[in-house]
Chains A and B, each alone.
Chain A
């Protein structure tokens, strides 16, 4: 099974900050990685797929990078609507989610 290690588990940031979240796969997953945003009581929403492709309708302040085993989600300038929990998902071999990163107000 492929394990996904996501870090940090939480972070505090202010509006306008640049935020980065990392995911590491236990083996190469090529670029088969997606990033999701989840708000309380809601289903997750996809932001990025294939490691760096922006889902239609998602703000360009979200970007993804990486391949193989190391991946990063970057929010270039944090907005009030971005305080949420973020998950990575590998879909190279079955599915595995990262543990999640909660982005909180500083």
Chain B
């Protein structure tokens, strides 16, 4: 059973970098069978895809983030991470880490973590 758990600061100041980690259990972060995804949800709003990374290291991001996002994997810790630079209050959201079979829908979600951007 694949399980995911997000962690990271709940409060980030404007213009700083938001950094979140997703710990993975029940699957290897190095497996070619999965890809690793971040989704966010602004308070009271719908779901927004942030980006994903394949086991090869190729990553793809939402154009709306204008190159501020970076997703990476840490094979030694079996986890993957999201960094979002130059945050503004508009980046306040619940961030979910997700995984699914390669190129497929996301069947496994973490519980989500709220990140608030505020001075």
Contacts and interface: CB of A to CB of B under 8 A. Distances in A.
B14 interface: no
A96 interface: yes
Interface of B: 37, 39, 46-49, 52, 60, 62-63, 96, 103-107, 109-112
A95 B46 contact: no
Contacts of A62: none
A40 B26 CA distance: 26
Contacts, number: 49
Interface residues of A, number: 22
18 contacts: A1-B63, A34-B106, A43-B109, A44-B109, A46-B105, A49-B104, A49-B107, A50-B105, A89-B47, A89-B105, A91-B103, A91-B104, A94-B52, A94-B62, A95-B52, A96-B49, A97-B47, A97-B48
Contacts of B63: 1
Contacts of A71: none
